[in-house]
Amino acid sequence: MRPALLLIGHTYAALENRKKLQALAAYFDLVCVTSTPEQHLILGRPSSDYDNDSDAPSRGYQLIRLPRSGQTSTTFRYSGLATVMRSRPFDVVLVENEPWALVCWQARLLKSLLQPRALFGEFTWENVERPGWKGCVLAPVYRAMTATTDFIIAGNQAASQLVQRRGARAHKVLVAPQLGVDLDNHRSASSAERAALRQDCGLPAEAFIVGYCGRLTEEKGLIELLQACDALQTVHLAVLGSGRLESWLKDQQQTRPWLHLLPSRPHFEIPAFLRCLNVFVLASKPVRTMQLCWEEQFGHVLIEAMACGVATLGSSSGAIPEVIGHEEAVFPQGDATALASRIRGVMQDPAIAQSQLDRTRRLYTNDAVAAQWAAFIQHQLAA
């Protein structure tokens, strides 16, 4: 008999992300609580572009949508969560958010009152210590979290180290991705397919194309990426997304005919863009201010690009090196010269793409991620 798992996470309001749930349902009697459809923009597009119920007939789990009360991803709680907790016994309650998130503490309290025999777990990405008074406030929050949590899944090595510094025991912490990638719609493109995809995107058929997609912000290293392509002179750069640097990039485009800006698109259309590329680059760099304290926590688009058979380069920031797993594909954060050298290396020898594809098949599919989670949770239940 499969253990009963209650998984609570707003991430699964996105259709693409629920593919991990389907894989996880092979191991658990799974109930997932996620958000009701909301009206807001994601990378400049309506959230409805990312969420629908077309997967309902094939679900091997129960999906429960609850309304959120709260403005941000860490300040909301779910109305009706207590009713779900009362509905049946669970062996495990697992919530995905940061240790200080209101929904985590809501779930923890309800679990202690309504599911006292269940294990309680959290998934966290947070990989940096907050500066100043925020760090002082969060320190006891972390200690309370580790003291009242049976196990933790950390999205990167730094997150694992952070919770262990705050009291978590090493054997109670798993380092694993939150989500995997679907190899059915992420796959290598033949020469003919790539040419057709480039035509659809308005990109030159024969050029060597470097690409990026995601938030158009300075911390994503877009300035350094543009500088590196400037230095190379012989490449084209395709950038897809939305964000604060969009107007700046449009200005740069006026003097750079090799710079192509594409509007953001729904998640299921991202593979078509990635398969156009010769190289994908995630050049992120950390931010340390009181307003924003962030370093790349995983970079899911890295494994999407790798799954498409595209040579993938990343900076030394945050979790990027451990995700890519190839030293020769990593360059020092903020170093446009080193990035240009890495791109030049791929132009001369693109063989790394196959090695990265093999790594993705081994570690980063939805099935592989679900198997890691299941083995760890089942071990915690048996302990």
Give CA–CA dist 69/108, Å, rounded: 17
Q: Could you report the per-residue pLDDT of 204-244, keeping only the tens digit for each?
A: 999 999 999 999 999 999 999 999 999 999 999 999 999 99
Give the pLDDT mean for 91-118.
98
Q: Which residue has the tokens 């899944």?
A: 153
Q: Phi, psi at residue 151, to the nearest 5°?
A: -155, 160
Q: Counting beta carbons within 10 angstroms of the beta carbon of residue 7, is it exposed (0 to 12), middle (13 to 18) or buried (19 or more)?
A: buried
The secondary structure of residue 148, as a DSSP letter, is T
| Sequence-ordered alpha helix ranges (H) in 80-185 | 81-86, 102-114, 132-147, 157-165
Q: Give the Å distances, CA to CA, from 188 to 65, 191, 274, 358.
A: 35, 10, 9, 12
Residue count (the chain): 383
Give the pLDDT mean for 260-268.
93
Q: Could you report the per-residue pLDDT of 41-99, keeping only the tens digit for each?
A: 565 666 666 788 999 999 999 999 999 998 899 999 999 999 999 999 999 999 999 99
DSSP E strand boundaries for 183-235: 209-215
Give CA–CA dist 383/268, Å, rounded: 40
The secondary structure of residue 118, as a DSSP letter, is S
Give CA–CA dist 367/23, Å, rounded: 5
Is the pLDDT assigned to residue 340 strictly greater than 90? yes
Is the pLDDT assigned to residue 151 strictly greater than 80? yes
Question: Which amino acid, residue 43?
Answer: L
What pLDDT is attached to residue 131? 84
Domains and CATH numbers, the chain: 4-180+365-382 (3.40.50.2000), 191-362 (3.40.50.2000)
Give CA–CA dist 171/173, Å, rounded: 6
Q: Could you report the per-residue pLDDT of 131-149, keeping only the tens digit for each?
A: 888 889 999 999 999 999 9
Give the pLDDT mean for 323-346.
97
The secondary structure of residue 329, as a DSSP letter, is G
Average per-residue pLDDT for the chain = 95
Q: Which of 141, 100, 94 is nearest to 119 (CA)?
A: 94
Q: Could you report the per-residue pLDDT of 303-319, keeping only the tens digit for each?
A: 999 999 999 999 999 99
DSSP E strand boundaries for 255-375: 259-262, 279-282, 287-288, 293-294, 311-315, 330-331
Is the pLDDT assigned to residue 40 strictly greater than 90? no
The secondary structure of residue 170, as a DSSP letter, is G
Query: Any residues with CB less than 8 A from the CB of 45 and at least 6 apart, and which?
Result: 242, 264, 265, 266
Task: Please give the torsion angle defined by the CA atoms of residues 124, 126, 132 and 133, in that order, rounded to the nearest 10 degrees.
Answer: -20
Q: pLDDT-derived band of residue 292, with 50, 70 and 90 as boundaries?
A: confident
The secondary structure of residue 39, as a DSSP letter, is -
Is the pLDDT assigned to residue 185 strictly greater than 90? yes
CB of 275 within 8 A of CB of 207?
no
Give the pLDDT mean for 316-327.
97
The rounded percent of the chain whose pLDDT value lies above 90 is 90
Question: Which amino acid, residue 130?
Answer: R
DSSP E strand boundaries for 151-289: 151-154, 173-175, 209-215, 236-242, 259-262, 279-282, 287-288
**Helix or strand or coil: residue 218?**
helix
Q: Phi, psi at residue 314, to the nearest 5°?
A: -150, 155
Of residues 39 and 187, the one with the higher pLDDT is 187
**What region does 299 belong to: left with phi over 0, alpha with psi -120 to 50, or beta?**
left
Name the pTM for this structure: 0.95
What pLDDT is attached to residue 44? 60
